[in-house]
Structure formats: C-alpha cells, structure tokens
Amino acid sequence: MNFNIASISGDGIGPEIVREAKKVLDVVAKKYNHTFNYTEVLMGGCSIDAHGEPLTKEALETAKASDAVLLGAVGGTVGVDKWYDLAPNLRPEAGLLAIRKGLGLFANLRPSFLYDELKSACPLKESVADAGFDMMIVRELTGGLYFGDRKTETVDGVVTATDTLKYDENEIRRIAIKGFEIAMKRRKKITSVDKANVLDTSRLWNKVIAEVAKDYPEVVVENMLVDNCAMQLVKNPAQFDVILTENMFGDILSDEASMVTGSIGMLSSASLGATKLGLYEPSHGAAPDIAGQDIANPIATILSAAMMLRYSFDLDKEADAVEAAIKQVLKEDYRTVDIMTEGMKQVKCSEMGDLICERIA
Ligand code: NAD
C-alpha cells in the first residue's frame, strides 16, 4: 500500500530521532511491500527561523493532505533560547497547538508498557513491577475544564476565579467510539474513569459510554472513580487495558501512568481525530541539552511510528513487527545512555535505530 507521511523533525533532538524512525519505516516498507512517501514540514523553532512563525498555513495544509504526521519535538532551552522573548503565539510550542487544532485532533493516546528488561527503572515495588503492565490511556483532548469559559472577578470585595467544566454528548460520543475502536485492537477491556459521585459531566459521560458500549458487545466496560484510578495505577496497574477518560483526568493520569514505566525516552503518543489522519510523536520534548550528540533514545519516536502503522494505516502486523524488534534489542542488552545500567551495552541513537531495523522480521 501507498501512504503519504508529513515528517516534522522540529528542533533539538527532533531531527536525530525522526531520522531513526524513518529508517525503521523504510525497512518495514521494503519487507512488507509498502511505499511511504515523506514530505518534510517545518514546525517550531526551525520554522520561526525560516518563516517568522512556528507553523505556516502551507505547512498545515501539507499536514492536512497527508495520511499521517510523524513529529519529533519542538522547542529550545526554556528561559534562554533565542525564541524565548517572542509572544506566546509565535513561540515554537504554539506550532503544536496550531497543528493539533488545525487537524481537528480530539483523542490523545498514551501507551504505558513496562518492558521486562527495564523493570529496574520502575519506581513501583518489586511485586507490582514483576506483574508488568500494558495499558493505553485514551484522553479527550479538546473539551472539558481546559476549554471552558473562565474568569477572575471581584465579588463583594473578594477576588474570585471561575473555570467551567462542560461536555456535550457529541464530544463524549466521538471519544468513546475512539476508545472502543482501540480496545477492539487490544485486550477488549475499557476502564471508563469519571467522578460521577460529584459531577454532572461525569454522569453524562457514563450514560454516553453505556450507549456506545452496546455497539461493542465484545468489550468489557467498567467504571472507576478518578481518585480510585490514581491509586490503582500504583497498586495494581496490570488490571488496566484501555483507560478512557476526559481531558483533565487524562492529563493527570497519563503522566502518572507514564512515569511508572520509569524512562521518558520510551514513551510514545498519538493524537487522533474523526478520520484516520493522526499525529504521532514521542511524549518527551526536544531535549536541547543532548541535541546533536547522537545519544538520544529514538525508541519513543519509533514506537510512535508503530502506532502510526496501527492506527492510521491499519497495518497491525507491521506494527507488531516493529514492537517485537524493540523488545528483542532490549533483550539483547542494548541501551541508549538514558536507560543504561551496569552490564548493558551502550549504543548511540543511530546505532539503536540500526539494531531495531536489523531485527524487523
Ligand atoms: P524534555 O523532555 O525535552 O527533556 C527532559 C529531560 O529528559 C532532559 O534531560 C532530556 O535530555 C531528557 N530526554 C528527553 N527525551 C529524551 C530522549 N529521547 N533520550 C534521552 N533523553 C531524553 O523536556 P524539557 O527539557 O522540559 O523541554 C525542552 C524543550 O522541549 C522545551 O522547549 C519544551 O517546551 C519542549 N517540549 C516540546 C514537546 C513537544 O514537542 N511535544 C513536549 C515537551 C517539551
């Protein structure tokens, strides 16, 4: 099959890690008889330098016209980079918000998976880490508290701030459908997270989830209060397959779920909209402190490329092959510096990419 990918290297380590992900995709293309065409798109600091803005209209149009967008990271060293004094809407990170909005991406996917070989990095107690975990947080991305009306005013002489938490049934339904579709590609279990003992939005959330669930009889659905979920993530993360939740709960829980894996260079993510077009990027930033040294861990970006194969292109077999190759490399004790421990074999960013390519079956 033939797919068009908008490739955004961005800033810092972005070009190094995207290069490795493309290397891996090219091996997949050759082995499985596909064609991936890349169009380079500037975003972030590099676009500011070239065009005076973090994302041009043309760049957004290129992204919109593609089948998927693969992104490294954008941004410089916070506080000291040359873009720091620009207005917020002209800084590198504004490109991220603009592309997410421009592509209509309302679902954020963050997998949290504990590799056997990296269990020592897991901050949870040994018995919990030994059980392992493999979950996907599906978070609503464009509604709820972060997008509601807000104001700060003086009421009867007292400064008072108000934020509004609002969801309509259509917003909930479209993220619910995404969540169920993703569960169907996994172990077919959804934990829907809410605060229905207090919030009306959560009660509506649960009602719509229950309606959508009728179309997916194979998926087991459970409801969990957000405070309980925060506890269960550190007590028994193995119980989760897909965690489906609204924007703010997802913001907090996805960071908690990723930190229990212990290694930032391993965490992938995807943002999806109503169509198959998605944006795939590592969860980490541009890491300017190590940029240009060929020492960054490219695995989060390569895993994001595997998500692109699975969710935008429906190439599940190919995605499995990439994930298996990563597991094999770790099993053979190869590590980039961020996940290096005693007795392991330290490799550079480009070597890690090569090792993964060689193991794609
Ligand atoms: P960061 O994630 O870039 O770096 C945090 C720490 O983790 C650094 O020590 C870095 O060296 C290390 N690290 C990150 N990714 C790594 C990898 N793949 N391999 C090895 N080590 C890795 O976060 P930060 O320092 O807070 O932000 C740096 C810049 O990135 C800022 O300009 C910030 O705005 C931007 N940022 C961009 C995105 C994005 O593009 N989606 C996300 C977060 C931060």
Residues 321 and 219 in one domain: no
Ligand 1: residue whose CA is nearest its atom 37: 285
Of 242, 260, 278, which residue sits at a domain end? 260
Of 260, 287, 302, which residue sits at a domain end? 260
Return the ligand 1 atom nearest residue 14 CA.
40
Q: Which of 215, 165, 164, 219 is nearest to 189 (CA)?
A: 219
Q: According to the model, what pLDDT value does residue 251 have? A: 92
Ligand 1: residue whose CA is nearest its atom 4: 287
Residues 57 and 165 in one domain: no
Residues 131 and 246 in one domain: yes
Ligand 1: residue whose CA is nearest its atom 23: 285
Q: According to the model, what pLDDT value does residue 356 have? A: 98
Residues 129 and 101 in one domain: no
Distance 95 CA to ligand 1 centre (A): 16
List pocket residues of ligand 1, CB cut-off 6 Å: 73-76, 78, 93, 96, 264-265, 281, 284-290, 296-297, 300, 338
- Report the DSSP beta bridge partners of residue 243: 137, 191
Q: According to the model, what pLDDT value does residue 205 have? A: 98
Distance 13 CA to ligand 1 centre (A): 9
Residue spans of beta strands (DSSP E) within the chain: 2-10, 35-40, 68-73, 107-113, 134-140, 150-155, 158-163, 189-194, 220-225, 242-245, 268-272, 278-282, 334-335, 345-346
Mean pLDDT by 10 residues, the chain (361 residues): 97 98 98 98 97 97 98 92 90 92 95 92 92 96 91 96 96 97 96 98 98 98 98 97 97 91 90 96 95 97 98 97 97 95 96 98 96
Point out the catalytic residue in the list 255, 314, 316, 333. Answer: 255
Residues 256 and 289 in one domain: no
Residues 32 and 150 in one domain: no
Q: According to the model, what pLDDT value does residue 18 have? A: 98
Domain that holds residue 222: 123-260
Residues contacting 140, CB < 8 A, separation 6+: 106, 107, 108, 167, 171, 172, 175, 245, 246, 247, 250
Of 260, 282, 304, which residue sits at a domain end? 260
Q: Which of 303, 137, 124 is nearest to 224 (CA)?
A: 137
Residues 2 and 63 in one domain: yes
Rounded to two decimals, the pTM is 0.92
Residues 213 and 134 in one domain: yes
Q: Which CATH number fits the domain that encloses residue 53?
A: 3.40.718.10
Q: According to the model, what pLDDT value does residue 263 have? A: 81
To the query of whether residue 227 is one of the catalytic residues in this protein, the response is yes
To the query of whether residue 200 is one of the catalytic residues in this protein, the response is no
What is the total count of domains within the chain?
2
